[in-house]
Amino acid sequence: MEEKIISKENLLKLCSDLLKNNVDIVTPGEKGYIKIKNESEISLNSKSKHTKASFKEYVFPKSEPIIYYKKNQSDVEIIEPKVEEKTTVIFGAKPCDVRSISILSKIFNWDYKDEFFNVRSRNTVLIGMMCEYADEFCFCTSVNLSPTSSDGSDVFLVPHDENTFGVKIVTEKGADLLKPYENYLSAGNSEKTKAIEASVKQPEKVFDAEKVRQWISGNFENDYWNSIGKMCLGCAQCAFVCPVCHCFDIVDEDYNYYEGRRMKNWDGCQFDMFTKHASGHNPRDDQSKRYRQRISHKFKYYPDKFEEILCTGCGRCSRGCPVTIDIKGIVTEINELAIK
Amino acid sequence: MEVKEVITETPDTTTFRLQFKDPEVAKSFNFKAGQFGEYSVFGEGECTFCIASSPTRMEYLECSFKKYGKVTSALARLNVGDTIGLRGPYGNYFPIDEMKGKNVVFIAGGIGLAPVRCIIDNVLDLRDQFKDITIIYGARSVADLVYKNLLKEWQERKDIKTIVTVDPGGETPDWKGEIGFVPSIVEKTAPKSDNSVAIICGPPIMIKYTFPVMTKLGFREDDIITTLENRMKCGLGKCGRCNIGNVYVCKDGPVFTYTQMKELPQEF
Q: List, for residues A289-315, the tens digit of each pLDDT value.
A: 999 999 999 999 999 999 999 999 999
- Is there a contact between B239 and A279 if contact means CB atoms under 8 Å apart? no
8 A C-beta contact, residue A206 and residue A335: yes
Average pLDDT, chain A: 93
Q: Residue A247, Cα to own-chain centre: how many angstroms?
A: 13
Average pLDDT over residues B250-255: 93
Q: What pLDDT sits at residue A36?
A: 93
How many Å from the N-terminal Cα to the C-terminal Cα in chain B?
32
Partner residue facing B241 (CB), from A262, A275, A279: A275
Interface of A with B (CB under 8 A): 69, 71, 74-76, 78, 107-108, 110-112, 114, 220-221, 246-252, 254, 257, 260, 262, 267, 269, 274-279, 281, 283-284, 289, 293, 296-297, 300-302, 304-305
- Residue B83: its chain A contacts at CB < 8 A? 71, 74-76
Q: What pLDDT sits at residue A289?
A: 94
Evaluate the CA torsion angle A157, A158, A163, A169 in order and state its sign. negative
Nearest CA-CA partner of A219 in A116, A162, A295, A324: A295
Q: What pLDDT sits at residue A333?
A: 94
Q: What pLDDT sits at residue B268?
A: 80
- Residue B229: its chain A contacts at CB < 8 A? 277
- Residue A269: its chain B contacts at CB < 8 A? 240-241
Which band of pLDDT confidence, cut at 50, 70 and 90, is reported for residue A9?
Answer: very high
Give tens-digit pLDDT for A118-137: 999 999 999 999 999 999 99
Does a cis peptide bond (omega within 30 degrees of 0) precede residue B89? Answer: yes
Residues B243, B265: Cα–Cα separation, whole Å:
10
B110: left (phi over 0), alpha (psi -120 to 50) or beta: left
Give tens-digit pLDDT for A81-92: 999 999 999 999
Q: What pLDDT sits at residue A293?
A: 95
Q: What pLDDT sits at residue A259?
A: 95
- Which of B22, B82, B241, B262 is best to mutate for the A interface (most A CBs within 10 A)? B241
Residues A46, A157: Cα–Cα separation, whole Å:
9
Q: Nearest 5 degrees, angle CA A285-CA A287-CA A293?
A: 85
B201 pLDDT more than 80: yes
Partner residue facing A75 (CB), from B83, B203, B251: B83
Q: 106-165 in B: which are within 8 Å (CB) of A?
A: none
Q: Which residue of B has its CA nearest to A104?
A: B238
Q: What pLDDT sits at residue B209?
A: 94
Phi, psi (5° rounding) for residue A53?
A: -115, 160
Does a cis peptide bond (omega within 30 degrees of 0) precede residue B254? Answer: yes
- Is there a contact between B237 and A300 if contact means CB atoms under 8 Å apart? no
Task: Assign B1 to helix, strand or coil.
Answer: coil
Q: What pLDDT sits at residue B267?
A: 81
Residues A86, A121: Cα–Cα separation, whole Å:
10
Domain-by-domain residue ranges, chain A? 2-199, 209-339
State the pairing for strand pair A124-129/A88-93.
parallel
A188 pLDDT more than 90: no
Average pLDDT over residues A27-42: 91
Give tens-digit pLDDT for B164-181: 999 999 999 999 999 999
Which band of pLDDT confidence, cut at 50, 70 and 90, is reported for residue B105?
Answer: very high
Residues B2, A183: Cα–Cα separation, whole Å:
63
Q: What pLDDT sits at residue A73?
A: 79
Give tens-digit pLDDT for B25-77: 999 999 999 999 999 999 999 999 999 999 999 999 999 999 988 999 999 99
8 A C-beta contact, residue A214 and residue B208: no
Q: Residue B110, Cα to own-chain centre: how many angstroms?
A: 10
Which letter, b or e, does each residue of B46-70 get, where b requires 16 or more Cβ atoms within 10 Å of its Cβ?
bbbbbbbbbbeeeeebbbbbbbbee
Domain-by-domain residue ranges, chain B? 2-90, 97-227
CB neighbours of B188 closer than 8 A, spacing ≥ 6? B178, B180
CATH architecture of B2-90: Beta Barrel (2.40)
- Residue A79: its chain B contacts at CB < 8 A? none
8 A C-beta contact, residue A118 and residue A108: yes
Q: Nearest 5 degrees, angle CA B127-CA B132-CA B134?
A: 100
8 A C-beta contact, residue A27 and residue A19: no
Which band of pLDDT confidence, cut at 50, 70 and 90, is reported for residue A30?
Answer: confident
Partner residue facing B238 (CB), from A108, A269, A274: A108
Nearest CA-CA partner of B190 in B219, B167, B166: B219
| pLDDT-wise least confident of A228-232, A312-316, B220-224, B257-261 | A228-232
Average pLDDT over residues B102-128: 95
- Is there a contact between B42 and A74 if contact means CB atoms under 8 Å apart? no
- Is there a contact between B233 and A248 if contact means CB atoms under 8 Å apart? yes
Q: What pLDDT sits at residue A220?
A: 93
Strand partners, A187: A4
Nearest CA-CA partner of A128 in A110, A146, A106: A146
Q: Which residue of B has its CA nearest to A293?
A: B245
8 A C-beta contact, residue B84 and residue B75: yes
Task: Enter the pTM of the model.
Answer: 0.91
Q: Which residue of B has its CA nearest to A218?
A: B265
Q: Which residue of B has its CA nearest to A286?
A: B267
- Is there a contact between A250 and B44 if contact means CB atoms under 8 Å apart? no
Neighbours of B203 (CB within 10 A): 16
> How far B232 CA lies from chain A's nearest CA (Å)?
8
For the residues of B86-110, what is the DSSP string, one character each? EEEEES----HHHHTTSEEEEEEEG
Which band of pLDDT confidence, cut at 50, 70 and 90, is reported for residue A15?
Answer: very high
Residues A89, B35: Cα–Cα separation, whole Å:
42
Q: Which residue of A has its CA nearest to B82?
A: A74
- Which of A78, A248, A265 is best to mutate for the B interface (most B CBs within 10 A)? A248
Q: What pLDDT sits at residue A72?
A: 87
Q: What pLDDT sits at residue B229?
A: 84
Residues A296, A73: Cα–Cα separation, whole Å:
49
Select the CATH number that applies to the domain covering B97-227 from these four: 3.40.50.80, 3.40.640.10, 3.40.50.1000, 3.20.20.70: 3.40.50.80
Nearest CA-CA partner of B84 in B116, B41, B54: B41
- Residue B115: its chain A contacts at CB < 8 A? none
- Residue A114: its chain B contacts at CB < 8 A? 236, 238
- Residue A246: its chain B contacts at CB < 8 A? 238, 240
State the pairing for strand pair A24-28/A88-93.
parallel
Evaluate the CA torsion angle A86, A87, A90, A91 in order and state its sign. negative
> How far A101 CA lies from chain B's nearest CA (Å)?
15
> How far A252 CA lies from chain B's nearest CA (Å)?
5
